[in-house]
Structure 1
Amino acid sequence: MEETLKILVVEDDEIDRVIVRLALTEAGMRMELDEVKDGNHAFFALINNHYDCVFLDYHLQNQDCLTLIHKLHSSGIKVPVVVLIDAGNEEIARECIQAGATEYFIKSTLSSETITHILRTAIRIHHTEIQLELANQKLKESREQLTLQHQELDKKQQQIQLQNLKILETSRLKSMFLATISHELRTPMNAIIGFSQILLRPKFGQLTNQQLDMVERILNNGKNLLMLLNEILDFSHLEAGKLELKPEILDLSKVVNNTVSEIRSLAEAKNLSLLVKTDLENTLVFNDAVRLRQILINLLSNAIKFTESGNIWVEIKEAPKNRVIIIVKDTGIGIASQDFQNIFAAFHQVDQGISRKYSGTGLGLAIIDSLVRIMGGKIYIESKLGVGSIFKIELPRKINLADNLGDIVFHSHQNQFYSLYSHNKASLNYPNLKL
């Protein structure tokens, strides 16, 4: 069913009103037609009623069409306006359109066909303008919303940056505290260990079995505490980027065998076999012997601690691209696959309970991971619950600290000299050393 259009004709000339009315009637469209003679009545009608189109004479007795169009626009009344003009007044019509009118036509050309075309065109243009205006309004609102979101995002980013700064400062203070407290505790701990060792010497007097047991417990616990303090101190230095490697030319197989000899008694105390296999064509490497020993001690200590029966193997072998591999394998309790991602996190232990079976700071593997990274190497883990674990460390035969720590002084204990290497050094070259 065709929609009924509501039309307002604003014309002060009776004859022209009749002509417009007849043309609209002959057009055969369903419509309701209202007629007024001046701009004031037209404005009042438009305020109180909705019209689909207004036919407005360009020249009214008490008000011209431009004044009424501006008044409608300033009042927010949106309706398609068709201006009726006499021939020769096209310039006035263009001014009206610039002011907000939708279309115009010349009265002398008025017919049912032309008025139908003009009416439909004016309504279509008006609807298009309304849709465009709504689209622009939505676009404006979207832009404003996007601006607000950007402002909110900027605010959140600033908050995150402030939080990150606070976290960094807290981390720095924590590292300083750990380093300070660890350093301060080492002095009295060394005294406890030293005096315990003195008491165990026969020339200082014979102790009863009970006294001997108590002093040995003091000594062993003191050594354990000192080891924990050293771990905390090393971790704080690593976290602060202050741990300095001191590489030298060394025999890797000798470092491994000496370290295994030091820790073998712990394995024998649990009736565990500790086996070493060396498969290196050239055993010389350029690395920090103390830190390599620390890596091995931590891995072997963990292997012994978490293995109740069976064997522990240590293997060193060649790897492609002038690298070496150190493997520590055990038949211990193993690690669940879901714990792999956190196993190298600082202070992380699979068993976090206070009454946990296995003691420790949870820093051992974190320190190993950091040391291996500083050395330019990688660490891999394979493990299965109830079967055991395999830790594989791959290291360059010649470490190049410039790629990892910036400008660093290399201390060569063997040759007693110091050389400064910057970031652009790709490798270390010694004419008498074949690595």
Structure 2
Amino acid sequence: MFGQKVAAALLISFIIDAENINYGLFILLGIFVCIGIYVVILLNSRRVRIQRQILQRKVAQRTGEISKQKEELQNQSNALQKAYEEIKTKNMAIEEAFEHLTNSYSKLSDLNREKDGIISIVAHDLRTPLNNIEGLTQLISMEGNLNKDQQDYISKIRSVVKNGNNMIQDLLDINQAKNQKPILNLSDIALGPFIENWQANFEKALLSKNQKLILTGDFFDLDIRTDAGLLSRILDNLMSNAIKFSVQGTSIHIDIHSQNDNLNLIIRDEGPGISEQDQLKMFKPFTRLSAKPTNGEPSNGLGLSIIKSLCQQLGGKITVNSEIGKGTTFEINLPMATACEMVSK
């Protein structure tokens, strides 16, 4: 600081002693410029130092943030690695389960084929003796001179043979519906004569329980195109169930009418009704419901599942409406002209 003052004093003396005042002023101006430059340099140096400190603080802060982010990323990487190991373990378990399921499916397929073969063989082997029994009963009946008890025995034998053949047919129908695409025998059917011929098959069964069939609807002049055999089987199963589960002296109501290119078959009985629990499972094969036949008639638990299968084969559906103590109503909805892969008559 002292050196600076001495230098300034010397410069001033030099300027005063100078012969040329203008030259002195020029020198003085140069000195002030140098001083200004020096001040500017000092200020810039200070600003640079301050900026460097700020930058260092920012770098330190950012370094800390990066370090924290790095730690978080490392934790996430560890978690992902752990999750990957878990997924890898689960994938291995899934692959083992899939292999087990594949083997099980293969075994089940083999068992299913064996089951189909057994059903076909058993059905054939059972039908032969049943038909032989039916033939023998006919021969005995033709001999005549049978007393009342013998005639009753013959009638019971025929009833057993018929029930056995019906059960065999039901088994074959269920098995075929599950394993084969239906091939329909379509034909044009005059519904009036068809229903009249069909209901004649149940006159004896209705009479035995003092029951009455009441037919209504506009079906007498209707013509439909469908599989007559499947339609007959649907009606047979519905009618048999209605007779079987209704007490003596009741009526069975069947209403048949057309609606929007569809045929509606509604059959209502005055039986005990079907519980809500039974309605959830009633269309499954081999399912016996809580209601029992009222006269000891046989029931194999296949009738309703067969009806549903036959309706689906004809492109229709079946619905049920029932309450305990208020009877049961089944509604069948079928197209007036069935469209399916078929063999037409």
TM over 0.5: yes
Structure 1 vs Structure 2 CA RMSD: 2.8
1:6 counterpart residue number? none
1:259 aligns with 2:259: no
* Structure-1 separation of matches of 2:99 and 2:192: 53
Is the partner of 1:188 in helix, strand or coil?
helix
Contact 1:331-1:389 at 8 Å conserved across structures: yes
What is the identity percentage for the equivalent residue pairs of Structure 1 and Structure 2?
Answer: 26
1:151 aligns with 2:151: no
2:43 counterpart residue number? none
1:198 aligns with 2:139: yes
2:344 counterpart residue number? 411
Contact 1:179-1:237 at 8 Å conserved across structures: no
1:163 aligns with 2:104: yes
1:345 counterpart residue number? 284
Query: How far off is 1:132 after superposition?
Result: 1.4
* Structure-1 separation of matches of 2:210 and 2:149: 26
Contact 1:253-1:316 at 8 Å conserved across structures: no
| Structure 1 residue runs of 4 or more that deviate by more than 4 Å after TM superposition | 111-124
Query: How far off is 1:116 after superposition?
Result: 7.1
Is the partner of 2:339 in helix, strand or coil?
coil
* Residues 33-432 of structure 1 aligned to structure 2 (within 5 Å): 122-201=63-142, 204-241=143-180, 244-280=183-219, 282-309=221-248, 310-320=250-260, 322-351=261-290, 359-402=298-341, 408=342, 410-412=343-345
1:405 counterpart residue number? none
Query: How far off is 1:120 after superposition?
Result: 5.7
Query: How far off is 1:165 after superposition?
Result: 3.5
| Residues 1:114 and 1:285: Cα distance change in structure 2 (over 3 Å) | closer
| Residues 1:140 and 1:226: Cα distance change in structure 2 (over 3 Å) | same
2:25 counterpart residue number? none
Query: How far off is 1:340 after superposition?
Result: 1.8
Greater fraction helix: 2
Residue identity opposite 1:378 in structure 2? K
Residue identity opposite 1:318 in structure 2? S
Contact 1:323-1:397 at 8 Å conserved across structures: yes
Residue identity opposite 2:207 in structure 1? E
Which is further off, 167-176 or 187-196?
167-176
* Structure-1 separation of matches of 2:223 and 2:54: 104
For these two proteins, the number of residue pairs brought into alignment is 293
2:21 counterpart residue number? none
* Structure-1 separation of matches of 2:132 and 2:297: 27
Residue identity opposite 2:257 in structure 1? K
Query: How far off is 1:317 after superposition?
Result: 0.2
* Structure-2 separation of matches of 1:259 and 1:351: 29
Query: How far off is 1:217 after superposition?
Result: 1.8
Residue identity opposite 1:319 in structure 2? Q
Residue identity opposite 2:335 in structure 1? P
| Residues 1:343 and 1:115: Cα distance change in structure 2 (over 3 Å) | same
Contact 1:327-1:393 at 8 Å conserved across structures: yes
Query: How far off is 1:134 after superposition?
Result: 1.1
Is the partner of 1:307 in helix, strand or coil?
coil
- Which structure: larger Rg? 2
Is the partner of 1:247 in helix, strand or coil?
strand
1:321-363 per-residue CA deviation (whole Å, 9 max, x = no partner) reads: x11111111011111122223111111111499xx96632211
Query: What are the ranges of 5 or more consecutive residues in structure 2 without an aligned counterpart?
Result: 1-48
Q: Which of 1 and 2 has higher RCO (CA within 8 Å, sep 6+)?
A: 2
Which is further off, 259-268 or 387-396?
259-268
2:31 counterpart residue number? none
Query: How far off is 1:392 after superposition?
Result: 0.8
Which is further off, 376-385 or 117-126?
117-126
What is the TM-score with the length of structure 1 in the denominator? 0.61
Query: How far off is 1:316 after superposition?
Result: 0.9
Is the partner of 2:254 in helix, strand or coil?
strand
* Structure-1 separation of matches of 2:232 and 2:120: 22
Is the partner of 1:342 in helix, strand or coil?
coil
1:159-199 per-residue CA deviation (whole Å, 9 max, x = no partner) reads: 33433343333233222211221122111111111211221
Residue identity opposite 2:126 in structure 1? L
Contact 1:325-1:394 at 8 Å conserved across structures: yes
1:205-246 per-residue CA deviation (whole Å, 9 max, x = no partner) reads: 412333222222212211221111121122222222165321
* Structure-1 separation of matches of 2:150 and 2:221: 50
* Structure-1 separation of matches of 2:181 and 2:145: 46
Which is further off, 139-148 or 373-382?
139-148
1:56-78 per-residue CA deviation (whole Å, 9 max, x = no partner) reads: xxxxxxxxxxxxxxxxxxxxxxx
Greater fraction strand: 1
* Structure-1 separation of matches of 2:56 and 2:220: 103
Residue identity opposite 1:180 in structure 2? I
Residue identity opposite 1:142 in structure 2? A
* Structure-1 separation of matches of 2:231 and 2:189: 11
